């Protein structure tokens, strides 16, 4: 049995002899400018402690197998994270947990209140549905198809992207 640690390259977790040091693995879209801004903020707060493993789902090396079984399309639809025990969490709960892990739980504390939490959760769903067009990117079906074409081209080692 091999244990995993996050590597600086961000793409996927790779085998290591060291035990995992992260408490939460955050899957993010490295092609989303707003997502990248948030990740940069969180990396600064992590300050090299390795409490959060940052995994760029937009990396062609991203695999579901190394990331809780979460395929690219699913990961692109909503934010996901994996807790150290293997539990997969989604949506605003990801932000709550990441911020808690980094000692900033107070930022999302109010979202644990029933009414506020319900409103924030619903707003996140709206944001997630509109994230791609708001960042001037193609819709999810096109993003998935483009990635699939890129991966197939890599396997063939020759291909012309259209």
Query: Residue 150: inside a domain, yes or no?
Result: yes
CA 34 to CA 50: how far, in whole Å? 22
Query: Residue 162: inside a domain, yes or no?
Result: no
Query: Residue 35: inside a domain, yes or no?
Result: yes
**Which tens digits make up the pLDDT trace of 47-99?**
999 999 999 999 999 999 999 999 999 999 999 999 999 999 999 999 999 99
Query: Residue 29: inside a domain, yes or no?
Result: yes
Mean per-residue pLDDT over the chain, rounded: 88
Query: Residue 22: inside a domain, yes or no?
Result: yes
Burial class (CB in 10 A: 0-12, 13-18, 19+), 77: middle
| Residue 120 structural domain | 3-156
Query: Residue 161: inside a domain, yes or no?
Result: no
pLDDT number for residue 2:
34
Q: How many domains does the chain have?
A: 1
Query: Residue 113: inside a domain, yes or no?
Result: yes
Query: Residue 71: inside a domain, yes or no?
Result: yes
């Amino acid at each position: 049995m091999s244990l995993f640690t996050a590597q600086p390259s961000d793409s996927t977790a790779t085998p290591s002899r060291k035990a995992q040091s992260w408490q939460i693995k955050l899957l993010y879209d490295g092609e989303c400018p707003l997502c990248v801004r948030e990740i940069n903020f969180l990396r600064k707060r992590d300050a090299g402690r390795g409490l959060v493993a940052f995994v760029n789902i937009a990396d062609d090396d991203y695999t579901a197998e190394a990331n809780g079984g979460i395929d690219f399309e699913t990961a692109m639809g909503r934010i996901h994270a994996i807790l150290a025990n293997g539990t997969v969490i989604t949506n605003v709960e990801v932000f709550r947990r990441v911020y808690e892990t980094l000692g900033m739980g107070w930022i999302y504390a109010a979202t644990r209140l029933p009414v506020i939490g319900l409103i924030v959760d619903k707003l996140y769903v709206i944001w997630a549905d509109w994230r791609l067009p708001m960042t001037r990117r193609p819709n999810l079906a096109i993003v998935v198809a483009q990635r699939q074409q890129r991966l197939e081209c890599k396997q063939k080692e020759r291909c012309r992207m259209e």
